[in-house]
Amino acid sequence: MKNFIKHLKDWSKAFLWAFLVAWVIRTFFIQGAFIPTQSMEKSLLPGDFIFISKLSYGPRMPITPLAVPFMHQNLPFTEHTPAYLDWLELPYWRLGSIDVNRGDVVVFNYPMELDRPIDKRTLYVKRCVAIPGDTLKIWSKRVFVNDKPMPIIPEMQFTRHIKASAPIPQILLDSLGITDGGLVSNINDYEFPLNDSLADFFGTLPTISNVSLRMESEGDFQAHIFPHNRFYAFNNDFWGPVVIPKKGNQIALNDTNIVLYERIIREYEGHQIDRAGGKIYIDKKETKTYTFEMNYYFMMGDNRDNSADSRSWGFVPENHISGKAWMVFFSHDPASSKIRWNRMFSFIK
pLDDT digit string, tens, across residues 105-148: 999 999 999 999 999 999 999 999 999 999 999 999 999 999 99
> Torsion angle, CA of 129/133/139/144, rounded to 10 degrees?
-60
Residue 287 pLDDT > 70, yes or no?
yes
Residue 219's CB is within 10 A of a number of other CB atoms, namely 9
Q: Return the CATH number of the domain spanning residue range 2-134+244-249+292-347.
A: 2.10.109.10
Q: pLDDT > 90: what percent of the chain?
A: 82
Q: How confident is the model at residue 1 (pLDDT cuts 50, 70, 90)?
A: low
pLDDT at 16: 80
Residue 291 pLDDT > 70, yes or no?
yes
Nearest to 305 by CA among 217, 208, 220, 192: 192
Is the separation of the CB atoms in 321 and 31 below 8 Å? no
Tell me the pTM: 0.93
pLDDT at 2: 65
Q: Region 260-264: what's the mean pLDDT? A: 97
Distance CA 133, CA 227 (A): 18
Q: How confident is the model at residue 6 (pLDDT cuts 50, 70, 90)?
A: low
Question: What is the chain's percent helix, strand, coil content, to nearest 5?
Answer: 20, 30, 50
Q: How confident is the model at residue 80 (pLDDT cuts 50, 70, 90)?
A: confident
Nearest to 119 by CA among 88, 157, 158, 163: 88
pLDDT at 9: 72
Distance CA 35, CA 45 (A): 7
Distance CA 240, CA 311 (A): 10
Residue 199 pLDDT > 70, yes or no?
yes
Give residue limits of the domains in the chain: 2-134+244-249+292-347, 158-213
Query: Residue 98: is it exposed, middle or buried by C-beta count within 10 angstroms (0-12/13-18/19+)?
Result: middle
What is the tens place of the pLDDT at every residue in 37-77?
Answer: 999 999 999 999 999 999 999 999 999 998 988 888 999 88
Q: Region 226-249: what's the mean pLDDT? A: 96
Q: pLDDT > 70: what percent of the chain?
A: 98
What is the tens place of the pLDDT at every residue in 207-221?
Answer: 999 999 999 999 999
Residue 22 pLDDT > 90, yes or no?
no
